């Protein structure tokens, strides 16, 4: 909270009543200060300093609506009041009204802080950085640099810089910043969790596991850290990932992100029916989520429910015609339900977004073969054999058998 003794920045005489109110504020005697200020403001409604002091008193007592109104009146009475702008901006930020808070804080950074000192202006820059990090990490970084020009760097600053670097995909810089914090505070939960997150993104799985486990020592059962650890363990094919996520899901059954992660790990473990139950439940709330639909379709394929999977992939292509995974799924399932015309259309659409591979060459070949388009079938069987390199022995045998017949 800003200093109550700071006046508006336009020189003005302070009345005995306002001075008395500020003396009461210094003692946290809110009742005396409020009574004195109310009496004064009844006859001096545009006294910017008294309005700010009254706002401060209301703010100190958590009467935020009244405080905001008084700070706004102080700004109107004296647009150059640093204290009124920063106090209003910080109050609005605390209430989550970030779009309203930002212009007040930005204005405060342009004003002379007067008795409030440069440290208060640095506070405005830091608050701006926290707001800007939502949508513009580069601007947030500049905000933080402005704060550091006029005040020493703190651990919170380093953590913010690390987070901003992470958001900007500057992962090495983020890791270095988190390590600077840990060098001074080895048990810092934000630094341990943040470094673990960055290492996970860098696919440095054993190193990430070490940091995330250390974070859980500081905060046992932390859902976000536990979820990251489970992701890391799954990436390392460690069996601990599944029970960890199952326990987390039991503790937070309505957390969609945790449910989604558990579904993915169950699918990776070959438990396709269990995985699909979770995806179906998630889709009930988000029926047009293409990621969920793709995962649902893939689980159906693994359960050999090709017609149902075909319908799911077809739905995704209608929602998002540029979704290459949907076109891949549609091509494969169409081939399994004997729709070679759809297979060819789906492969044509997929080729706009992804290069061909052995699997798609085989789908092209078999679709043309089914439609008795001999020349095209022969061409794609050869493409398949060139690309497969012994990885698909059953399909390679089939391709060679068909080529013997087609090339007679």
Q: Is residue 397 part of a domain?
A: no
Q: Are residues 21 and 135 in the same domain?
A: yes
Q: What is the pLDDT of residue 4?
A: 42
Q: Are residues 35 and 124 in the same domain?
A: yes
Q: What is the pLDDT of residue 45?
A: 94
Q: Are residues 128 and 170 in the same domain?
A: no
Total domains in the fold of the chain: 2
Ranges of the chain whose pLDDT falls below 50: 1-11
Q: What is the pLDDT of residue 112?
A: 86
Q: Is residue 320 part of a domain?
A: no
Torsion of CA 38, 40, 46, 50, to 10 degrees: -70
Of 220, 242, 257, the last residue of a domain is: 220
Q: Is residue 121 part of a domain?
A: yes
Residue 357 token pair = 């591979």
Give 332: exposed, middle or buried? Use CB within 10 Å, 0-12, 13-18, 19+.
buried
In 3-state terms, what secondary structure has residue 158? Answer: helix
Give Cα 206 distance to the centre of its chain: 23
Q: Is residue 6 part of a domain?
A: yes
CA torsion sign for 97, 100, 105, 111 is negative
Pair 323, 316: CB distance under 8 Å: yes
Q: Are residues 49 and 184 in the same domain?
A: no
Q: Are residues 11 and 127 in the same domain?
A: yes
Distance CA 51, CA 8 (A): 10
Q: Is residue 20 part of a domain?
A: yes
* Radius of gyration of the chain measured on its C-alpha atoms: 32
Nearest to 141 by CA among 163, 171, 111: 163
Q: What are phi and psi of 337, to 5 degrees?
A: -105, 20
Give 356's contacts (C-beta < 8 A, 6+ positions apart). 364, 383, 387
Q: Is residue 253 part of a domain?
A: no
Q: What is the pLDDT of residue 116?
A: 58
Q: Are residues 96 and 211 in the same domain?
A: no
**Domain containing residue 71: CATH number:** 1.25.40.10
Give 117's contacts (C-beta < 8 A, 6+ positions apart). none
Q: Are residues 73 and 158 in the same domain?
A: no
Q: Is residue 309 part of a domain?
A: no
Q: Are residues 4 and 138 in the same domain?
A: yes
Q: What is the pLDDT of residue 246?
A: 93
Residue whose tokens read 């992962």: 171
Q: Are residues 4 and 146 in the same domain?
A: yes
Q: Is residue 338 part of a domain?
A: no
Q: Are residues 77 and 184 in the same domain?
A: no
Domain range spanning residue 121?
A: 1-152
Q: Are residues 41 and 143 in the same domain?
A: yes
The whole-chain average pLDDT of the chain stands at 92
Helix residue ranges, H only, 252-339: 256-268, 272-285, 290-302, 306-319, 324-336
Of 183, 199, 220, the last residue of a domain is: 220
Of 134, 152, 170, the last residue of a domain is: 152
Q: Are residues 8 and 140 in the same domain?
A: yes
């Amino acid at each position: 909270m800003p200093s109550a003794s700071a006046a508006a920045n336009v020189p003005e005489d302070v009345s005995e009543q306002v001075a008395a109110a500020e003396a009461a504020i210094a003692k946290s005697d809110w009742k005396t200060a409020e009574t004195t200020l109310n009496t004064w403001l009844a006859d001096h409604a545009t006294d910017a300093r008294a309005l700010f002091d009254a706002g401060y008193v209301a703010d100190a007592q958590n009467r935020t609506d009244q405080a905001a109104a008084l700070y706004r009146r102080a700004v109107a009475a004296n647009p150059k009041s640093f204290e009124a702008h920063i106090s209003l901006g910080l109050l609005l930020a605390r209430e989550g009204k970030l779009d309203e808070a930002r212009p007040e804080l930005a204005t405060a950074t342009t004003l002379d802080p007067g008795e409030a000192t440069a440290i208060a202006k640095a506070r405005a820059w830091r608050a701006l950085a926290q707001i800007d990090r939502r949508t513009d990490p580069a601007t947030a970084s500049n905000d933080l640099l402005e704060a550091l020009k006029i005040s020493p760097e703190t651990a919170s600053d380093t953590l913010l810089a690390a987070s901003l670097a992470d958001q900007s995909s500057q992962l090495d810089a983020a890791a270095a910043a988190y390590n600077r914090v840990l060098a001074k505070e080895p048990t810092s939960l934000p630094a341990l969790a943040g470094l673990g997150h960055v290492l996970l993104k860098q696919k440095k799985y054993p190193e990430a596991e070490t940091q995330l486990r250390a974070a859980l020592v500081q905060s046992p059962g932390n859902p976000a850290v536990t979820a990251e650890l489970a992701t890391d363990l799954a990436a390392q094919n460690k069996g601990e990932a599944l029970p960890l996520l199952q326990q987390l899901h039991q503790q937070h059954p309505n957390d969609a992100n945790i449910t989604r992660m558990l579904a993915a790990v169950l699918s990776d473990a070959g438990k396709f029916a269990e995985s699909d139950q979770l995806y179906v439940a998630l889709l009930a709330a988000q029926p047009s989520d293409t990621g969920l639909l793709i995962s649902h379709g893939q689980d159906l394929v693994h359960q050999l429910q090709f017609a149902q999977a075909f319908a799911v992939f077809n739905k995704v292509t209608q929602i998002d015609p540029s979704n290459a995974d949907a076109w891949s799924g549609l091509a494969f399932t169409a081939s399994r339900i004997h729709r070679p015309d759809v297979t060819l259309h789906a492969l044509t659409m997929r080729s706009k977004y992804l290069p061909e591979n052995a699997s798609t060459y085989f789908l092209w070949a078999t679709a043309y073969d089914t439609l008795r388009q001999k020349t095209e079938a022969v061409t794609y069987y050869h493409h398949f054999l060139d690309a497969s390199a012994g990885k698909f022995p059953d399909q390679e045998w089939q391709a060679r058998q068909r080529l013997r017949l087609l090339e007679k």
